[in-house]
Structures are given as C-alpha cells and as structure tokens.
Chains A and B, each alone.
Chain A
C-alpha cells in the first residue's frame, strides 16, 4: 500500500481547514439572505467533501508520479487528472439531477480548495516578505 507523504497530509489538512471555514461562511451567507435549506447544506457537504478528496487524490497522484521517470510521470498525472475530472463531472451531474442537493452550493464548494490554495500562497508569500524584511 502506498504510504502518504507527510507533506501531502499537511497540505490537505490545511486545505480542509480552509474549506471548513469557507463552508461555514457560505452557510452563514445563505442564512443571512434567507435562502438556507437542506439542499444548501447537502450541496455544501458534497462539494466540500469532493473538493478535499480531489486535492488529496491529486497529491497521491503526484506523489506516485514523482517516483517514476519523466514519461511515466506525465502518464500518471494525465491519468490521475482524467479520473478526478470524471469524479468532478459526476458530482456536478448529481447536483443537477438530485432535488435535495443544491447546485449552486455544490459548485461553489468545489472551488473552495482553489481559494484555499490562493490564500495559502498569499500567506506564505507575505510571511516570506516579513521574515526577509
């Protein structure tokens, strides 16, 4: 069985934390505008869960690719990307067709890991600038 790299665990944990915070924010916004309901909650849970899973699977795919030669690495990453893309497509299609899963919260939640990555990049950059200054 593949041993997960500590770096991937750490980064996934950070992204998961960001996703949880953003999900709470999303729920709060829906509550404030009076649109909250179970579809919003289920959509958010589905989107956030799959978003975190996608990030983790990407990490696993990249980790296994790093142990291969250049050609093998490209093939592994392409395969991993295709599979994760299909997973995302399945989730969005489910959100479209299942009534008790909100489409908008699902789509928004799928983007939370990306927002987390941007925030992490900014935080690391600012930290670097502070320590340099």
Chain B
C-alpha cells in the first residue's frame, strides 16, 4: 500500500511537471512571431532598426518570464516535491 501511495505521489509530480511545461511552448512561438514582425517592420523602415530592436528585446524578455516560471515549477516538482511529499506521507504513517 505504501508503494502504491509513493507511486501516486511520483506520478502526480511527473504529470504536474509535464503540464507545467506546456507553458514553455508559448514563449517560443511568441518570440518567433515577434521577430518575424520586427523583420517586416525593419524591412519597411530600416531607419527604425534601433527602436524596433529595443522594443522587441524587451517584449521577448517579458514573454520569456512565463516560460521561466513553468521551468522552475517543473524542476521543483520533479526534483524537490516528491521527496518532501514522501517524507510527509511517512511522517503521517508514523
């Protein structure tokens, strides 16, 4: 029974980490679209290259934050959470 409980904990953590990493897909797509639009804008107005680059850089950095949140949560769920949850379980059983 204990093995089953530990298995459920590990499975839940792995599933949660996988779900969290779905958020990592968004920034990649978003950055790609932003750069494609920036290329188009610079192609139309080459003199605005510096301003477009600055804005794009800032936008990409902000967009990437969500991916970073997801990454951190996923890694914590994989490496840190299972040990803690198993300890809590073992303490509860006594």
- The answer to whether A and B come from one shared complex is yes
Binding site for B on A (CB under 8 A): 5, 7-8, 11, 15, 55, 58-59, 62-63, 65-66, 68-70, 73-74, 76-78, 81-82, 84-85, 88-89, 92-93, 96-97, 103, 107, 110-111, 113-114, 117-118, 120-121
Contacts of B39 in A (CB 8 A): 65-66, 68-70, 73
Q: Which residues on the A side are within 8 Å of B32 (C-beta)? A: 73-74, 77-78
Q: Does B93 contact A (CB under 8 A)?
A: no
CB within 8 A of A117: which of B24, B33, B62, B68? B62
A97 to B75, CA, bound (A): 11
**Beta-carbon contacts of B56-94 to A below 8 Å, as 1s and 0s?**
111011101101100110011001100000000000000
The answer to whether the Cβ of B45 comes within 8 Å of any Cβ in the partner chain is no
Q: Report yes or no: B40 in contact with A58, Cβ–Cβ below 8 A.
A: no
Contact partners of A77 in chain B: CB under 8 A: 28, 31-32, 35, 60
Choice from A8, A11, A82, A93 contacting B79 with Cβ under 8 Å: A93
- Count of B interface residues, CB-CB < 8 Å: 32
Our pick among B42, B50, B62, B68 for the contact of A110 (Cβ within 8 Å) is: B68
Task: Please name the residue on chain A nearest to B65 by beta carbon.
Answer: A114
User: Could you tell me the distance in whole angstroms from the C-beta of A124 to the nearest C-beta in chain B?
Assistant: 9
Beta-carbon contact of A114 and B80 below 8 Å: no
Given contacts A7-B57, A11-B57, A81-B28, contact A92 B62 (CB under 8 A): no
Residues in B neighbouring A74, C-beta threshold 8 A: 32-33, 35-36
Q: Which of B24, B60, B80 contacts A85 (CB 8 A)?
A: B24
Across the interface, do A55 and B36 meet the contact criterion of CB distance under 8 Å? no
